[in-house]
Amino acid sequence: MAINWFKYSAPTTFYGLAGKLIPWLAVSAVILFSIGLYIGFYVAPVDAQQGEFYRIIFIHVPASILSMFLYLVLAGYAALGLIFKTRLSAMMASAIAPTGALFAFISLWTGALWGKPMWGAWWMWDARLTSELILLFLYLGFIALHASIDDPRRADRAAALLAIVGSVNVPIIYFSVKWWNTLHQGSTIKFTGTSMHVAMQQAMFTMLAACWLYAAAVVLTRVRSIILERERNTAWVAELPEVKQ
Amino acid sequence: MKKTTMFSLLVLVIRRDLVLAMRRRADVLTTLVFFVMIVSLFPLGVGPEMAMLRKMAAGVLWVAALLSSMLSLGRLFLADYVDGTLEQMMLAPQSLSMLVLGKMTAHWMVSGLPLVLMAPVLGLQFDMSAQGLGVLIMGLLLGTPILSMLGAIGAALTLGLRGGGVLLSLLVLPLCIPVLIFGAGAVEAASSGLGIASHLSLLGALFVLALVFTPWVTAKALQISME
């Protein structure tokens, strides 16, 4: 049996598939969020060194991981769109950007909230914090460039090129910031190799999965809107039941 | 044969852009005056203590150089885009990357090189040591071309957009952070008695990387903007 791998690379078919997936993703995200928060707040023990404050990592760490991962996914879609000129890839890239920026922002915000009681300062020019901030700038640049070009095709391609240049730069920026920081002063706090409590791990991974599902649900919802907006003049959109009403 | 034509093309573009720049000298001077002004504003803002100024000097000069090079980037392709020359350049049988490299070089000679030459005078205002000044110049010589090359990508992407200037800075400044770090870091390393070789080598590596990739990426960006 020949499988058509490219069936869902067309906006026409993907629109329906995304519509079917979103409820499942959203519901499982809510369930996992509840489980993760329950374990995080009630089951996981108090940390010996950081007290209750450490519990913020249950949202901070997943948000940081996703903000970085989503940028890679964004750049991947951007590259696909630029190379194969597939319409859907560019739409996916522009749908991912706001969610990635949101996670980068949450990561910085929760990091600051954690830093105040732990380090005694809202902000440290630590390598990880600084590169996360620059990652947020890269997201904002992508969104701003896309928003300021009126022609959607040119916007897609220009933003895609920027995303690729940015992704090449991310490791360079990360290492330069790291070396810059170590030249000035050592990192104030390091996560030592102490093993985490099992309940803490469970809470963290559950929250990570929940954030992941949330991101997928939101991105698919957004890409559906983008598809409708871009293809509003086509016949298949006019025949959709939700459009006909 | 082919090599010489590529090279002569490069020289041709550089000469053309330099002549154009010399006909409009005010643009070149504005960038330079902007650079001098930003640097001179810092002591007014943070206070005249010499010990502090000496410590800040390299960072201030580098940030000012970064900002002033952003200022002139908007004009890199704009005039050619408006009068249609750019379209002709893209139709030309010669490599667009080479043309772009020529424009980058000319841009650096017009807006980067004057900053490098001006920097020691401003460094003296901040009471920098002779050794620190030397390292600063070396860093700027290696670093400002990278700013022009990275900036060209942004200039090509934002070509002909409304509010292009601010957008350009938003896109390019994050990409320039490594240059700032190693350039200012070299001076700091020199003043604290550490070796400067690592910083300058890294700047050199960035320079080579940018030299290889940015003309090609900028050419692609121009094609996207012009289609």
Shortest CB distance from B178 goes to which of A161, A172, A183? A172
- Distance, CA of A16 to CA of A169 (rounded, Å): 36
Are the beta carbons of A148 and B163 separated by less than 8 Å?
Answer: yes
Give backbone dihedrals phi and psi of A116, rounded to 5 degrees, phi first.
-60, -55
Q: Has residue A230 got a pLDDT over 70?
A: yes
- Cβ proximity of B136 and B123 under 8 Å: yes
Per-residue pLDDT, B3: 56
Q: Give the pLDDT band of residue A182 (cuts 50, 70, 90).
A: low
ipTM of this predicted structure: 0.85
Q: Has residue A126 got a pLDDT over 80?
A: no
Shortest CB distance from A145 goes to which of B171, B173, B213? B171
Beta-bridged to residue A51, according to DSSP, are A47
Q: Is B108 helix (H, G, I), strand (E, B) or coil?
A: helix
* Mean pLDDT rounded to a whole number for chain B: 88
- Distance, CA of B102 to CA of B15 (rounded, Å): 9
Domain carrying residue B32: 2-226
Number of helical (H) and strand (E) elements in chain B, helices listed first: 11, 0
Per-residue pLDDT, A210: 93
- Cβ proximity of A170 and A71 under 8 Å: yes
pLDDT tens per residue, range A87-104: 889 999 999 999 999 999
Q: Average pLDDT in the B65-70 region? A: 90
Q: Which two tokens stand for residue A81?
A: 């769109």
* Mean pLDDT rounded to a whole number for chain A: 84
pLDDT tens per residue, range B81-131: 888 888 888 888 888 899 999 999 999 999 899 999 999 999 888 888 888
The domain total for chain B is 1
Q: Give the pLDDT band of residue A193 (cuts 50, 70, 90).
A: very low
- Kindly report the pTM of this predicted structure: 0.87
Per-residue pLDDT, B166: 84
Which residues of chain B make contact with A179, given a CB cutoff of 8 A? 181, 185
Alpha helices per DSSP H over chain A: 11-38, 57-84, 87-119, 127-148, 152-184, 198-230, 235-238, 241-244
Which residues of chain A make contact with B181, given a CB cutoff of 8 A? 176-177, 179-180
Mutation test of the interface with chain A: which of B175, B180, B209, choosing the one with the most A Cβ atoms within 10 A? Answer: B175
Q: Is B139 helix (H, G, I), strand (E, B) or coil?
A: helix
pLDDT tens per residue, range B119-173: 999 988 888 888 889 999 999 999 999 999 999 999 999 988 877 778 898 899 9
Per-residue pLDDT, B189: 84
Q: CA angle B173-B177-B179, nearest 5°?
A: 115
Q: Between the CA of residue A123 and those of A117, A148, A185, what are the distances in Å? A: 11, 32, 15
Are the beta carbons of B162 and A148 separated by less than 8 Å?
Answer: yes
